[in-house]
Amino acid sequence: MQNTPIKKLIQGLNILIVDGNSYMRRVTRMMLMNLGAKSVIEAADGLAALEQIRNCDPDVMLLDWDMPLLNGMEVMRIVRSPGVFPRPNLPIIMLTSRAHRSSVVQALQAGVHEFLVKPTSAKALHDRLSSIVVNPRPMMQIGDSYVPAPRKLGGPADLVELGV
């Protein structure tokens, strides 16, 4: 499933899992460890997530949408605030049970890098992590949103517009 260079990159990541469900955090942690991750930290709600970002400086965050205190979209709005929050460029994978297209579009417009629907597979998680690590996208301002640069289609001028 994974080649050695990618496994080495995943081993070096400090990954934050944010999910209100302790069972889902445990399952996600086990998948990450099976993929080679060595440093996995957890938060059970949005406020704890913001504290973990400030204190532990993760390389990637796996974020659930539906959580206590601050939900995933509220966390996104805070994190994606350049000049206000210390890590606005943090790569974020939304890992949620919300599978409607409108939820995916809303999450992408809020600035997530990747979107995964629960329950997910280790392969899907590996593929999303690989995408972030191997092909990082710079952050940019689009309207009022601070988001990853859209993926390129054809040439440099052909950018996918968010929400379309």
Tens of pLDDT, residue by residue over 108-125, are 999 999 999 998 999 999
CATH of domain 4-148: 3.40.50.2300
Q: What is the mean pLDDT of residues 55-82?
A: 95
At 2 the pLDDT is 45
Q: Which 3 state secondary structure label does DSSP give 129?
A: helix
Look up residue 150 and give its amino acid: P
- Per the listing, tokens 């640069």 go with 149
Structure confidence by residue, pLDDT tens digits, 134-159: 888 999 998 888 999 987 654 444 33
Question: For 25-34, 88-97, 108-117, 151-160, which range has the lowest pLDDT when averaged over its residues?
Answer: 151-160
Is the peptide bond preceding residue 119 cis, with omega within 30 degrees of 0? yes
Q: Where are the domains of the chain?
A: 4-148
What mean pLDDT is predicted for residues 86-100? 93
